[in-house]
Amino acid sequence: MHRDDLTVEKSTTGAREIDRRTIAKGVAWTVPVVIVATAAPAAAASGSVQITGLTGAFDPSTGGVTVTVVVSSTGAGNTITFLSVSRGSSSTPVNQTKTLSRGSSNTFSFIAPTSGGVANTYVLTYSINGGAAQPMSFTAVSPTSYSSGTATRTQNAVTFHLNFTGSTKSKITITAVKPDLGSLSGALPAPDEVLGADLAVSFGLTRNQTGAKPTTADVTFTVDGGTADTKTITVP
């Protein structure tokens, strides 16, 4: 092989190396750019949400409770979801979502899908804007209340009359009768006596024939299983 041939071959090899580098460089610059598109977020909730009132109204006719919730919202786009109402170990779903008006008090009412009484503590579980579940407890109020009480006596027999206003379906339980002097004997009415049309409970006891005679008696009772109440009634 001649020297000129070697020179030509070397030059040709160098040209090939340059061509490959140039091509590789060109390929690197022509890699396509991938653009990931994302949807614009919807209008977000704003401000604060707070339950400002939570009450329960007991219905003696059905045993159900009407729950009333008052919610304040200082921003826009907020929602509240009532998840469930429970008492003790019993829990039943509500699953109602409400949109809140801005800058106003929002009032919602629904029947709790569980029966109970005013003595029970209920728990409303709710969430704000689909967030974590939050509990809030409340008690139910009976529509019936005590109005007056009297006692009449025939010799040693004393008859008590307790009058109420409200629902004829409410249940009254007399738990104790304590005279200020002497003693009164006899059986108290059966628990959970339904008031009826006259909205009254009457029962008789016997005054002790000897010793001091009572002038008043403290009568303790509950309405629809609620907190015990005591009224002092004059004994003639």
Please indicate, yes or no, whether residues 105 and 150 belong to a single structural domain of this protein. Answer: no
DSSP 149: E
Q: What is the CATH number of the domain that holds 65?
A: 2.60.40.10
DSSP-based three-state secondary structure for 104: strand
DSSP-based three-state secondary structure for 181: coil
Q: Distance between CA atoms of 145 and 141, rounded to whole angstroms?
A: 10
Range of the domain at 91: 49-141
Please indicate, yes or no, whether residues 193 and 216 belong to a single structural domain of this protein. Answer: yes
| Whole-structure pTM value | 0.71
* 54-100 residue pLDDT tens: 999 989 988 888 999 999 999 888 999 999 998 877 888 899 999 99
DSSP 113: S
Entry field: residues in the chain: 236
Q: For 104, list phi and psi in degrees, rounded to 5.
A: -150, 165
Given 111, 141, 171, the domain boundary residue is 141
Number of domains the chain contains: 2
| For residue 29, pLDDT beyond 80 | no
Q: Which of 16-25, 44-53, 218-227 has the highest mean pLDDT?
A: 218-227
DSSP-based three-state secondary structure for 109: strand
CB atoms within 10 A of CB 64: 18
Report the pLDDT averaged over residues 35-59: 66
Report the pLDDT averaged over residues 14-28: 48
CB atoms within 10 A of CB 118: 22
CB 131 within 8 A of CB 49: no
Q: Distance between CA atoms of 122 and 230, rounded to whole angstroms?
A: 25
Please indicate, yes or no, whether residues 133 and 150 belong to a single structural domain of this protein. Answer: no
Q: Residues with Cβ < 8 Å from 188, sequence gap 6 or more?
A: 174, 175, 176, 177, 203
Q: Distance between CA atoms of 235 and 157, rounded to whole angstroms?
A: 11
Tokens of 210: 């000897």
Please indicate, yes or no, whether residues 124 and 181 belong to a single structural domain of this protein. Answer: no
